[in-house]
């Protein structure tokens, strides 16, 4: 049993229910905590109470508080990495990379992100633009990056004067508890940062409550649309949605295939394909597809799948048994779409949720296999006649998060990228890579045009325009004042 929720600077272990986190490695319970959906209401009240005093501090004063958080996150780096592996099944080497990036994110937040939302003045003192905090911001985090993605939203929100409520995925509750321990040890004022553990009911309360001024969600398109429906009568609430993807790569006839194959293997199968930016389909010039398929088919079985605590493991388990069953079902679903399987998904047995990655090839069709996000280690190669056909097929998809173009000429890439309706387009690099030095967000069913990363400060602030001194009033007014 752990400490429960964290509200107004105190841990609250009350609640009628217990949340248990089952490890995908062996099916054992690795974390449990009491919870109460009503903790969401208490956290909102605490955050609203703390908001005026926190917003009244200067940005420099709030940065001092975040520097204490930075020290505490660094001290818990290994513990957080271990928890990510236990709860999510992410290989420890990868989990350590996620945990290692938490504390340095404060440097980015206080640097480039802060600079992006700097106040500015008009010439001659005519006026000024100011970025003000929204107020209370709720962060609804995903399971696949249980620390990194929430951290990238929480830190800018705090720096820019908001109070925060974190509702993590139930599958990463222990990771969120460790993260919150760092916040508690940094001694932020009570109510400035709050943690609400629990199931979807807590998230629904945060979504519906008009006292929450900003809602930052990362997760599936299905849930994102439910959030939009639940908030369509609260225009005062800024809603940022980072949703799913059906991410594609375009391989042109002049692509260098060995480097391309390496990038595709990484982007499709790292984190067991459980990334919103993972590559799931590759549109390949017909003259290149046989050679590329041969390269991938030869290498794919060599990717080590197994215990994520083993340093030699590339892929650990899928997050849960239902996800594993769904992904194994792609063997039949792809067959019904007329797709040839080169490497099938196979259940590795045992108590964990382990399966092998799959590789397929076939002509594109308007079929669930090609149009739905599967969120797992499955990759299909699709032949195309030319770049135009590939662009059309990618743009016809409902999603628009990430894409990659493999070609030799950068000017050709620039032309192709400008025609892709995606928020992230990489050149000779897989879709799974991103940087906090650029905006990050999806279009169409992958997001609502509110990118984060470098632009994260824009998600948690409102711009206020201020005109100074006397303006140019109407002559009628001047005459009336002389009368």
Asked if residue 406 and residue 320 are part of one domain, the reply reads yes
Asked if residue 348 and residue 458 are part of one domain, the reply reads no
The answer to whether residue 93 sits within a structural domain is yes
The pLDDT of residue 433 is: 81
| 276 is an active site residue | yes
The answer to whether residue 194 sits within a structural domain is yes
Crossing angle of the two packed helices 173-185 and 77-88, in degrees rounded to 10 = 160
Looking up residue 151, the CATH number of its domain turns out to be 3.40.605.10
The answer to whether residue 266 sits within a structural domain is yes
Quote the mean pLDDT of the chain.
Answer: 96
| 242 is an active site residue | yes
The pLDDT of residue 104 is: 97
The pLDDT of residue 154 is: 98
Asked if residue 235 and residue 370 are part of one domain, the reply reads no
The pLDDT of residue 471 is: 72
Asked if residue 197 and residue 268 are part of one domain, the reply reads no
Asked if residue 281 and residue 235 are part of one domain, the reply reads no
Q: What is the dihedral of CA 93, 167, 4, 199, to 10 degrees?
A: -100
The answer to whether residue 58 sits within a structural domain is yes
The pLDDT of residue 28 is: 96
Which among 110, 260, 272, 276 is annotated as catalytic?
Answer: 276
Asked if residue 274 and residue 218 are part of one domain, the reply reads no
The pLDDT of residue 473 is: 80
Q: Distance between CA 119 and CA 132 in Å, rounded?
A: 9
Asked if residue 341 and residue 223 are part of one domain, the reply reads no
Asked if residue 251 and residue 237 are part of one domain, the reply reads no
Which among 94, 98, 170, 242 is annotated as catalytic?
Answer: 242
The answer to whether residue 483 sits within a structural domain is no
Asked if residue 173 and residue 97 are part of one domain, the reply reads yes
Asked if residue 115 and residue 18 are part of one domain, the reply reads yes
The pLDDT of residue 1 is: 53
| Mean pLDDT per 10-residue section of the chain, whose length is 483 residues | 88 93 97 94 98 98 98 98 98 98 98 97 93 98 96 98 98 98 98 96 95 96 94 93 96 96 98 97 97 98 97 96 97 97 95 97 97 96 97 96 96 96 97 92 94 95 92 82 80
Looking up residue 321, the CATH number of its domain turns out to be 3.40.309.10
The pairing of beta strand 461-467 with beta strand 127-133:
antiparallel
Q: Distance between CA 118 and CA 130 in Å, rounded?
A: 8
Asked if residue 269 and residue 361 are part of one domain, the reply reads yes
The domain containing residue 367 runs over which residues?
A: 247-427
Q: Distance between CA 354 and CA 318 in Å, rounded?
A: 6
Asked if residue 283 and residue 231 are part of one domain, the reply reads no
DSSP-derived letter for residue 434 is -
The answer to whether residue 423 sits within a structural domain is yes
The answer to whether residue 378 sits within a structural domain is yes
Total of domains in the chain: 2
Residue 71 neighbours by CB under 8 Å, 6+ apart: 103, 186
The answer to whether residue 231 sits within a structural domain is yes
Q: State pLDDT tens for residues 370-422.
A: 999 999 999 999 999 999 999 999 999 999 999 999 999 999 999 999 999 99
Q: State pLDDT tens for residues 308-362.
A: 999 999 999 999 999 999 999 999 999 999 999 999 999 998 899 999 999 999 9
């Amino acid at each position: 049993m752990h400490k429960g929720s964290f509200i107004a600077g105190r841990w609250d272990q009350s609640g009628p229910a217990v949340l248990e986190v089952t490890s995908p490695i062996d099916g054992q319970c690795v974390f449990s905590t009491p919870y109460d959906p009503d903790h969401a209401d208490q956290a909102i009240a605490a955050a609203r109470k703390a908001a005026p005093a926190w917003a009244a501090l200067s940005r420099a004063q709030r940065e001092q508080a975040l520097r204490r958080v930075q020290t505490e996150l660094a001290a818990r780096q290994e513990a957080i990495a271990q928890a990510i592996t236990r709860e999510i099944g992410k290989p420890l080497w990868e989990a350590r990379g996620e945990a290692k990036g938490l504390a340095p994110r404060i440097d980015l937040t206080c640097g480039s992100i802060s600079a992006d939302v700097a106040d500015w003045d008009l010439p001659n003192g005519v006026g000024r633009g100011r970025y003000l905090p929204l107020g209370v911001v709720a962060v609804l985090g995903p399971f696949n990056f249980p620390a990194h993605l929430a951290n990238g939203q929480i830190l800018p929100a705090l720096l820019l004067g908001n109070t925060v409520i974190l509702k993590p995925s139930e599958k990463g509750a222990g990771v969120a508890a460790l993260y919150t321990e760092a916040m508690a040890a940094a001694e932020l004022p009570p109510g400035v940062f709050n943690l609400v553990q629990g199931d979807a009911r807590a998230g629904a309360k945060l979504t519906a409550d008009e006292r929450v001024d900003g809602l930052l969600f990362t997760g599936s398109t299905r849930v994102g649309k439910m959030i939009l429906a639940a908030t369509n009568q609260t225009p005062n609430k800024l809603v940022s949605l980072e949703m799913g993807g059906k991410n594609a790569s375009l391989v042109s006839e002049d692509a260098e295939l060995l480097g391309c194959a390496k990038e595709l293997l990484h982007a499709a199968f790292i984190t067991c394909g459980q990334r919103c930016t993972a590559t799931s389909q590759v549109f390949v010039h017909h003259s290149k597809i046989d050679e590329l398929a041969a390269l991938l088919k030869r290498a794919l079985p060599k990717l080590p799948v197994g215990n994520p605590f083993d340093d030699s493991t590339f892929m650990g388990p899928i997050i849960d048994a239902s996800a594993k069953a769904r992904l194994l079902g792609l063997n039949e679903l792809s067959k019904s779409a007329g797709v040839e399987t080169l490497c099938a998904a196979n259940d590795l047995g045992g108590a964990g949720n382990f399966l092998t990655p799959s590789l397929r090839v076939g002509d594109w069709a308007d079929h669930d296999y090609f149009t739905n996000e599967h969120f797992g280690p499955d990759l299909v190669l699709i032949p195309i006649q030319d770049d135009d056909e590939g662009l059309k097929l990618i743009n016809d998809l409902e999603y628009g998060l990430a894409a990659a173009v493999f070609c030799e000429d950068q000017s050709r890439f620039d032309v192709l990228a400008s025609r892709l309706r995606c928020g992230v387009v990489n050149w000779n690099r897989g879709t799974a890579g991103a940087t906090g030095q650029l905006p990050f967000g999806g279009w169409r069913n992958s997001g609502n045009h509110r990118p984060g990363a470098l632009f994260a400060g824009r998600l948690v602030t409102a711009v206020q325009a201020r005109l100074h001194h006397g303006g140019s009033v109407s002559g009628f007014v001047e005459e009336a004042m002389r009368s």
